[in-house]
Structure 1
Amino acid sequence: MIQFLYNFRRLALGLVLLASISSCSDFLERPPEDNYSDNDFYYTNDQVNSRIAPLYYKPWWNMFSTSFWPMTETISGNMFNYTHLSFTQFTVTSSNPMLENTWGSLYSVVAQSNELINNLDDRVGGDVDQETIDIVKGEAYFLRAVAYFYLVRFWEEVPIIENTYDYIYSPQVPKNPEQDIYRFIESDLTMAIDLLPEKIRGADYASNKRVSVGSAKAVLAKVYLSQEKFAEAKNLSAEVINSGEFQLLDNYADLFLTENNNNEESIFAIQWTISTDYGSGNQSNIANSAGGYGLGNIGDWNVFGPSQDILDIYPGGDQREVENIMIPGYTYDNLYTSSGEQFTVPEDIDAASSGSAIKKYVVGGDDPYDNWGMTANNTYIMRYADLLMLYAEATMGGTGTTSDATALMYFNRIRERAGLVELPSITNETLLEERRREFAFEGEYWFDIKRLLSTNDAVEYLSSQNRGDQNFDQFYTATAEDLIYPIPANESASNPLLLEEAVPYDFED
């Protein structure tokens, strides 16, 4: 379990060693360790590029291995499991290890991004192109911004750390206000936009792995929307849409195949890899599927199942249903067991006593996996469908409804791909419902509820959900305090300032 202050000291003292990577012939391939000097001096463009590669997956793993699901999908009412009942029952306390894992993971991203932002210029030789340096620093600004975007939506008030070295000998760091966190995120993404290259995402998926100007603008548009800066969100999302960089895949099911990692719809995704190093891959294939039915290599570990509340949200003909939820008796064209048999969902499937199981991100037993059952299937942080819906939401501008032709066109593209008819108008309720169907189990619904509903409506909605299993209906009363997580106890114990009032951040501008 990693405490972020410990991470800072450890990194600053040179004890954070980024894992070597065994992937081949792409930017994730790290040159041999003996090409590096003891102080991480970089002599070639390849060495600089390889330095950013682990930041696309390694420090994120502690959050995405398990913690992300209870903190977003279980608490929002999309998932059910017996291991993390405190998220189902709204009884999460500061001692919950999932909070500690996520906090530590995100601040590890921050710390490692800081190392590049602050020190890369001084650690390169004369043969390294300035363009290469700028792009890698742009990626670091982008990744730090994404980490803070999660932090502010989970906790609202957290410490802004720009330079790890400032806190080696004085690790007491105050929280900063929510508005300052958002200002800092906007600044980082603006820097990323200035430094990153422009792209058009084509069929050469290997070239799509790294983020671009369009990636940074898309995330910034979402950051604007989260602050109710509707005009800025609409204008920037329109700019990215009109750039032509991204496009929807024709088939929803194709989004979640490993062979389609970094497709044209992917704006930013965690780049998992098969490795002998534990904690490099995607655990969904074993945590969310019927492992005991041959879809994984370590037995039956289907901890998470769909909630009873989500089982009936799909109308007839919605092609997304079977790609998100395993329906008993359904046979998948693209899902095979480890013995090579086409997978038909057993009639008695029962992940987490749900009477069903989760399909999304489950790629089957014939997909390459490591010794722990983890696969190289990417985890989406943002995809183009999100941006199209973001435009529609920004167009509503807080009014709760729109019939704007452009907003409807973008919104209905999502429904058309799913096999549903067009809608003549959009409301907060229809948008929230459609986003739940589209992004089920991708970690969006918790943030959608808090953004699209008032505090009172969100509390009432969460309290009305059936949060039991298939055998027992269960309802629990949420409160406004449940919408923001408590600071992890281990963090506040080592840094008591986290329990005090937030202090305005000193922006040097």
Structure 2
Amino acid sequence: MKTSIKYIFTVLLLMSFTACDSFLTEYPYSEVAVDNYLKNDDEVETAVIGIYSGLQEVVQQEYAILEMRTDNAGTRSGVGDWAQFETFTILTTNSVVANYWKQLYMTIYRCNLVLANIDNVVDPAKKQQFEAEAKFVRGYLHFNAVRLFGHVPLADRIVKEGDTEGYKQAAPDEVYALVESDLTFAAENLPTTAQIPLGRANKESAETMLAKYLLQFKRYDEAKTMLENVINTGQFSLTPDYRTIFYQELGSEIIFPIQFIDDNTENSQEFSYYFLFEQGSHNYATDNMINLYESQPGVSGEDLRYTANIIDQRGVRKGCGKFVTQANNIRLAGNDYVLIRYTDVLLLYVEAVIGDNFQTNDAVALDYFNQVRARAGLDALENITKPTLANERRKEFLYENQRWFDLERTGDLEATITNFMRDQGLRFDKRHLLLPIPQRELDTSKGVLQQNPGY
């Protein structure tokens, strides 16, 4: 896999979970050629599982792109490729950005491999499910790519060696059209959470992701319908203790996790290792973030999410407390990456109700909003403003890679980052709200890919 869009799929990496809670049985590692593989239901399903293996890689360093470029977090050391995110001095050779792009398109390739062979599935129910799973992930990853990079290749098919058309960047509108089509298909055709093991894409995860897409384009009523569908299933509820969400992992609040296993060389994660003091304290809470928690204390003291999310590291209360591993090998952590949880659904519903207004006192929205606040030890409100909702989401989802996309979706990204950078005494050019296209991708494309302005 020498490039991220153009490569021959010679080794299919598969997850081999052994935990009883996992949706996976053990699959052997195999060296397979595309032309001789994916000929029946079981083989196509193996490729579907490979998509989830790809997602494990996508999220390993995503925090640098989505948390450390915001007012939420930075690094303790302020050096190297990582520090480029907090200062908006990202180079085209930044290894984190290059790896993220590669993993996005490698995983999209796996989705397209499944879709190209979907007619080899005999069982109609499985065929529908596998297609919907692949389209959910393909739509989600394109959604990330277009929001972060702007003009990106539209990878709606397998791109073979020599196919320079596959490298061409599409206009954002074209990419968004694919995102909507894929997520809509997934929402209409995936099994519900009750019908498919947790850890594989389900109907409710697709409806939630589609709602985020619709909110970005101010299609509030449609988004509200999607979110009501999820809420009305009755399948989800808030975990009573906020601290346990990320350690209980497969609790009532979780809609779609990307699963990992402690001390498993193939299926563990390493991102939490870099949050440790000794490793540079990535995702180190900013003073701005700490001040937000401390300026809005709870009924009987501080917001209960404060000490759950931000812990002392060497006597300084800035460390990430959300993914403290229990693994014997701290570089082989099993903490799941929770992509979608029920709290997000409730707060997105409030966002849809507010719409283009500044505030709401809608009874249902207040109920959902105050459920979240009550768990955090905060008093109920009788009115919700947009800034209040933004602050609540920020405190609730710290370190969950939501902040950047929240700000972009609500139209507050440029102003928020501009003000934050000014307060840090740092220069900022709004052109850098888009990431650079990695230099190695530009080189490999032989002039087909064009760099974003400002790099």
Distance 1:476 1:69 in 2: 21
**Contact 2:39 / 2:117 at 8 angstroms: preserved in 1?**
no
Distance 2:450 2:27 in 1: 44
Moved more, 312-321 or 106-115: 312-321
Distance 1:226 1:481 in 2: 20
Q: Secondary structure at the match of 1:140?
A: helix
Shift, 1:301, TM fit:
5.9
Aligned residue number for residue 325 of structure 1: 310
Shift, 1:416, TM fit:
0.9
Q: Secondary structure at the match of 1:164?
A: coil
**Contact 2:238 / 2:342 at 8 angstroms: preserved in 1?**
yes
**Contact 2:14 / 2:28 at 8 angstroms: preserved in 1?**
no
Unaligned runs of 5+ in 2: none
Distance 1:20 1:37 in 2: 19
Aligned residue number for residue 251 of structure 2: 263
Unaligned runs of 5+ in 1: 292-299, 328-345, 466-473, 502-509
Q: Deviations over 1:466-488 (max 9, x none)?
A: xxxxxxxx432323212211222
Distance 1:37 1:27 in 2: 26
Shift, 1:304, TM fit:
4.0
Distance 1:137 1:498 in 2: 29
1:71 counterpart = 2:65: yes
**Contact 1:266 / 1:382 at 8 angstroms: preserved in 2?**
yes
Q: TM-score, normalised by structure 2?
A: 0.88
Aligned residue number for residue 268 of structure 2: 281
Shift, 1:179, TM fit:
1.8
Aligned residue number for residue 410 of structure 2: 452
Question: In 2 relative to 1, CA 146–455 (structure 1 residues): closer, same or farther, beyond 3 Å?
Answer: closer
**Contact 2:44 / 2:114 at 8 angstroms: preserved in 1?**
no
Shift, 1:245, TM fit:
2.9
Shift, 1:2, TM fit:
6.1
Distance 1:177 1:43 in 2: 36
**Contact 1:463 / 1:476 at 8 angstroms: preserved in 2?**
yes
What letter corresponds to residue 381 of structure 2 in structure 1? L
Distance 2:104 2:64 in 1: 16
1:499 counterpart = 2:453: no
**Contact 1:9 / 1:164 at 8 angstroms: preserved in 2?**
no
1:232 counterpart = 2:225: no
Aligned residue number for residue 245 of structure 1: 235
Distance 1:154 1:250 in 2: 34
Distance 1:53 1:349 in 2: 43
Distance 1:158 1:168 in 2: 18
Q: Secondary structure at the match of 1:92?
A: coil
After superposition, where does 1:141-180 map in structure 2 within 5 Å? 141-165=135-159, 167-172=160-165, 173-180=167-174
1:443 counterpart = 2:420: no
After superposition, where does 1:101-250 map in structure 2 within 5 Å? 101-122=99-120, 124=121, 129-165=123-159, 167-172=160-165, 173-200=167-194, 207-250=197-240
**Contact 1:90 / 1:476 at 8 angstroms: preserved in 2?**
no
Question: In 2 relative to 1, CA 349–286 (structure 1 residues): closer, same or farther, beyond 3 Å?
Answer: farther
What letter corresponds to residue 145 of structure 2 in structure 1? L
How many residues are aligned here? 439
Q: Deviations over 1:34-62 (max 9, x none)?
A: 898982246565x5544322322x32344
Question: In 2 relative to 1, CA 171–129 (structure 1 residues): closer, same or farther, beyond 3 Å?
Answer: same
Moved more, 312-321 or 447-456: 447-456
Shift, 1:410, TM fit:
1.3
What letter corresponds to residue 386 of structure 1 in structure 2? D
Distance 1:389 1:149 in 2: 20
Structure 2 residue corresponding to 1:477, chosen from 424, 427, 431:
427
Shift, 1:256, TM fit:
0.8
Q: Secondary structure at the match of 2:338?
A: strand
| Greater than 6 Å deviation, 4+ residue runs | 34-38
Aligned residue number for residue 91 of structure 1: 89
Distance 1:72 1:106 in 2: 15
Q: Calculate the aligned-residue CA RMSD, in Å.
A: 2.8
Distance 1:303 1:31 in 2: 34
**Contact 1:29 / 1:50 at 8 angstroms: preserved in 2?**
no
Aligned residue number for residue 60 of structure 1: 55
Aligned residue number for residue 30 of structure 1: 26
What letter corresponds to residue 264 of structure 1 in structure 2? S
